[in-house]
Amino acid sequence: MKLLVGTRSPGKTREIRELFTGLPFEVTFPSERFLEPLPDEADLERGTSYAENAVAKARYFATRGGLPAVADDSGLEVEFLGGAPGPRSARWALAAGSGAEVDAANNALLLEQLAGASEAQRAARYRCVIAFLATPSSVPEIVEATCDGYILTEPRGTGGFGYDPLFYSTDLRMSFGEAPPAAKHRVSHRGRAFRALIEVLLRRST
């Protein structure tokens, strides 16, 4: 089965490609299908929930690409911040620029918001919701996963992307920024969610 993965994030593209390695699926991404960004893509993540955003992206790319499509929406939920930034994680600081510049602004805002918070108050989780659409008009299949940790007071490691250098994984006992890719995939919200999706897709193909 060929799957169009509805993301333009270099970090997500790299991780998702690795997660599908060795499996009977051919994953492709918008740039590989010559699907140039259009202005209406800016509105695909305006929903109030991860599921709403994931379905909107999957439907959009299934329509444009003419292939079964998969899209995720992920976010960081911090206990001290009442679950924020949540579905707004990627756009929390309202920063413009490169992916690295946006990540830096979001991380700086997170540290500012948590100044003086105790380790217990810094408890956090990553959440990933994935939508699969066989056709643009299909009923979406949705899977979800989380991983737990807490927010560090300063970045550790240079791996991953987004909030990874600040997210200390209780499973790995290191930040996601320090974790080797294979270790991160084993416990991360995205790794767990995509493994659940892969089980769904394998059942569909038998």
Q: How far apart are CA 164 and CA 15, in angstroms?
A: 13
Determine how many CB atoms are found less than 10 A away from the CB of residue 134: 16
Q: How far apart are CA 135 and CA 22, in angstroms?
A: 25
Any catalytic annotation for residue 171? no
Residue 23 near residue 175 (C-beta atoms within 8 A): no
* SS3 assignment, position 162: coil
Query: End-to-end alpha-carbon separation of the chain, Å?
Result: 12
Catalytic residue among 72, 73, 103, 164: 73
As a whole number of Å, the CA-based R_g of the chain is 17
Q: How far apart are CA 65 and CA 132, in angstroms?
A: 14
Residue 123 structure tokens? 């408890």
Assign residue 28 a region: left if phi > 0, alpha if psi is -120 to 50, beta otherwise? beta
The residue assigned the tokens 């390695």 is 21
Q: Which residues contact 137 (CB under 8 A, 6 or more apart)?
A: none
- Active site amino acids: 73
